[in-house]
Amino acid sequence: MALRRKDLLGLADLSPEEIEHLLEQAEAMREVLEREIKKVPALRGRVVVNLFYEPSTRTRFSFELAAKYLSAETVSVAAATASVVKGEGLLDTARTVEALGADVVVLRHPSAGAAAFLARHVKAAVINAGDGMHEHPTQALLDLFTVKRHKGRIEGLTVTIVGDILHSRVARSNIWGFSKLGARVRVCGPATLIPPGLEELGVGVYYRLEEALEGADVVYILRLQRERFSEQTFLPGPEEYARLYGLNRERLQLAQPDALVMHPGPMNRGLEIAAEVAELDRAVIEEQVTNGVAVRMACLYLLMRRGEV
Amino acid sequence: MKRILFKSGTLVDPSSGRVWQADLLVEEGRIKAIDSGLVPPRGTEVVNAGGCLIFPGCVDVHVHLREPGFEHKETIATGVRAAVRGGFVAVAAMPNTRPVADSAAVVGYVRARGEEEGLAQVFPVGALSRGSEGKEMAPLGEMRQAGAVAFSDDGRWLADAQLMRRVMEYARMLKAPVISHCEEPALTKGGVMNEGITATVLGLRGMPAAAEEIAVARDIILAEFTGCHLHVAHISTAGAVRLVREARSRGLKVTAEVTPHHFTLTEEAVQGYNTNAKVNPPLRTRADVEALREALADGTIDIIATDHAPHAREEKEVEFDQAPFGISGLETAIALVFTELVHKGVLDLPQAAAKLSLNPRRLLGLPGGVLAEGEPAELTLIDPEREEEVDPATFASKGRNTPFAGWRLKGWPVGVVVRGKWIPVRPLPGEGLREI
């Protein structure tokens, strides 16, 4: 079964069945990654273009590897070298990419909705690799995949997401993903970094980390972007943040004894997460990275199979 | 001598609240006679207005004609054609052109260009501050002499309270209203839509209702302090409505306008990153829309204005946060008033006519707005039963940026009388489906 959609723009659009299907496919891809020769011919002759308007190391490498393991041709364009600097708009770039014969465009862009905009203007499949504060669907899929591997299920779990929810596309995609698969989602952070209306999505909002951690099965720590301290006054400073919202061993004890600790990376050790916590066995942060490749292979594969079924 | 007889129309006079069927004879730009069974003198142009409503000519107090400086978006020539096609006989042109209309020269230019076109009249609004930069007072007196009917830094709020106080004192002396775009900029920096659940889900930066309400509150206080007539442009929140209602209940010279998009749409229209629904002030919530409708009905909001803000297609066909704010509104306004307000019982016909003609004229100090013998013959004819789908490709405006494309609306202007001329823009009800 393929996905019945041209693009992967966000988890808000996906049904629970579609998400489950992607996760099952990722399981198969994960097996490929465990082989000695990590290559299958599934996307031979297909062209995947990674179009990155924001700096990114992990996501870009992850997509590149995913495409390569599926035998697709890949081209990566970083904003600094792209025609962006010549003032070419996203629409023009999209048309160029299309004319060059891309089958899939993986887009990372600072504007929310950029992937949806691109998807409307090109025939190629578009995968959103992060659009402003909106969504980062493959990150949430790999997080779901990782949790499912460890817990065997998503339904009924309590997931606590901690940090700058307001600016986080990872938080938004994870709220959709975990909620749709039946988990209880809590968010926790200072009031200035919690966007309005989350309760309407069924999310529990907490300002005290201790309360938010109580009984949690998954503790998901977001990266605190230090530029937030300067551009507007969201927070008094990093020291206070670390004191109130930093995850340390003591606080983690409030969660379930086997609670997973997750982080989308890169981490600020000592700020949002204590180094000793990040090194625990149940901190699955590196495994998230590995699983990211499998999940992205599944996304590429299922979107490309759409035309064949 | 040009004479036009409108036979059997339904006259709507907002000044008396009367609605009645009669013939109306126009002669030399004035209403010569209103009676039943008028016999046209020889050489009279006869228009069968059966099935039509006749309003005093509608006036839009808030449009952006973009000339000089942004002629790729709109020109005065295309703007006045859009006005007439939308049923408006006059418009007030906002000063955020390039150069800004902050001098007698630019004000005079806009006015003269409007006269050259000879269609809808163009009344310039002068800037409050030089370059609308909020620092120094613009030459309000000279602009008034050159034909400015009001003053505004539209698009920006004059944040300096001392300067606002001074321009209000000055404008009061000149007997001209100050039109304020109420938005505390510190609260909306980087914002692209209403702050709330929709912005949260879309990952877009919000502009809270509080930004508008703080600005309305300060401006009302300064209006009371200075005695100046404050006109609140494009009011959009329930809280702002409450402030205006309270001010008016105390007899202050405070008026307010609402746009058709604000009384029709909610923030949901932005879903899918629809840049044609990106507008400032932003589309708000259902509760705000309800409050605006209530305020229209109880008279708190006395004017309907479009904030016609045309943009070129390529300017709107970009990422949401890159797109300019604005909706091309002149050619859908009256149809939205009928579809959303008149046919739904929010406004009766005299109220609708007052908010489109009499009250806008009073704001700008223009005569007319009354259907009576001897009054200026500026008229808008409307077929309240006509149904038509909004097709931006047919707009006279260069700006096709509308969130209403494809909407089927009921109640459309069929023609106007302006400068003594009858200009039909749609078939009369009796004429069948012939397109003009």
What are the residue ranges spanned by the domains of chain B? Answer: 3-54+374-424, 57-364
A147 and A275: one domain?
Answer: yes
Choice among B23, B60, B307, B383 that is catalytic = B307
Q: Does A41 touch chain B (CB under 8 A)?
A: no
Is the distance from CB of B69 to CB of B311 less than 8 angstroms? no
pTM metric for this prediction: 0.95
Distance from CA of A118 to the nearest CA of B (A): 9
Per-residue pLDDT of chain A (309 residues; tens, 9 = 90+): 668 899 999 999 999 999 999 999 999 999 999 999 999 999 999 999 999 999 888 899 999 999 999 999 999 888 765 555 555 788 888 888 889 899 999 999 999 999 999 999 999 999 999 999 999 999 999 999 999 999 999 999 999 999 999 999 999 999 999 999 999 999 999 999 999 999 999 999 999 999 999 999 999 999 998 776 666 688 888 899 999 999 999 999 999 999 999 999 999 999 999 999 999 999 999 999 999 999 999 999 999 986 554
Give the Cα separation of B135 and B128 in Å (integer): 10
Give the Cα separation of A135 and B45 in Å (integer): 63
Is the distance from CB of A41 to CB of A69 less than 8 angstroms? no
Sign of the Cα pseudo-torsion (B236, B237, B242, B243, in order): negative
pLDDT in tens, A130-177: 999 999 999 999 999 999 999 999 999 999 999 999 999 999 999 999
Nearest residue to B291 via CA among B304, B279, B303, B301: B301
Is A223 one of the annotated binding-site residues?
A: yes
CATH for the stretch B3-54+374-424? 2.30.40.10
Q: Nearest Cβ partner of B202 from A91, A109, A113?
A: A113
Give the Cα separation of B429 and B41 in Å (integer): 24
pLDDT in tens, B4-17: 999 999 999 999 99
A162 and A268: one domain?
Answer: yes
pLDDT in tens, B370-416: 999 999 999 999 999 999 999 999 999 999 999 999 999 999 999 99
Q: Does A169 touch chain B (CB under 8 A)?
A: yes
A153 and A197: one domain?
Answer: yes
Q: What is the mean pLDDT of residues B316-335?
A: 97
- Residue A88 counted as domain residue: yes
A274 and A144: one domain?
Answer: yes
Helix H or strand E encompassing B415 = strand B408-418
Any idea which fold B57-364 has?
A: TIM Barrel (3.20.20)
B307 is catalytic: yes
A129 and A151: one domain?
Answer: no
Is the distance from CB of A95 to CB of A121 less than 8 angstroms? yes
A144 and A268: one domain?
Answer: yes
Give the Cα separation of B373 and A179 in Å (integer): 68
Bond preceding residue B68 cis, omega within 30 of 0: yes
A124 and A219: one domain?
Answer: no
A126 and A221: one domain?
Answer: no
Q: Provide residues of B within 8 Å CB-CB of chain A.
A: 189, 195-206, 272-273, 317-322
Looking at the structure of chain A, the number of domains it has is: 2
How would you list the strands of the sheet with B254-258, edge to edge?
A: B58-63, B88-93, B121-126, B150-152, B178-180, B230-232, B254-258, B303-304
- Residues of A whose CB is below 8 A from B322: 111
A108 and A233: one domain?
Answer: no
A61 and A144: one domain?
Answer: no
The domain that holds A80 is classified in CATH as 3.40.50.1370
Distance, C-alpha B96 to centroid of its chain: 16
Q: How high is the ipTM of this complex?
A: 0.93
- Residue A1 counted as domain residue: no
Among chain B residues, CA nearest to A120: B272
* B13 φ/ψ sector (left φ>0, alpha ψ -120 to 50, else beta): beta
Count of C-beta atoms within a 10 Å radius of residue B36 = 10
A119 and A190: one domain?
Answer: no
Expressed as residue numbers, the domain containing A42 is: 7-136+289-305
Is the distance from CB of B241 to CB of B291 less than 8 angstroms? yes
- Residue A263 counted as domain residue: yes
A153 and A106: one domain?
Answer: no
Q: Does A51 touch chain B (CB under 8 A)?
A: no
Is the distance from CB of B409 to CB of B339 less than 8 angstroms? yes
- Residues of B whose CB is below 8 A from A113: 202-204, 273, 319-321
- Residue A215 counted as domain residue: yes
Q: Do B197 and A131 touch (CB under 8 A)?
A: no
Distance from CA of A57 to the nearest CA of B (A): 22
Q: Do B195 and A196 touch (CB under 8 A)?
A: yes
- Look up residue B145 and give its two tokens: 């002499």
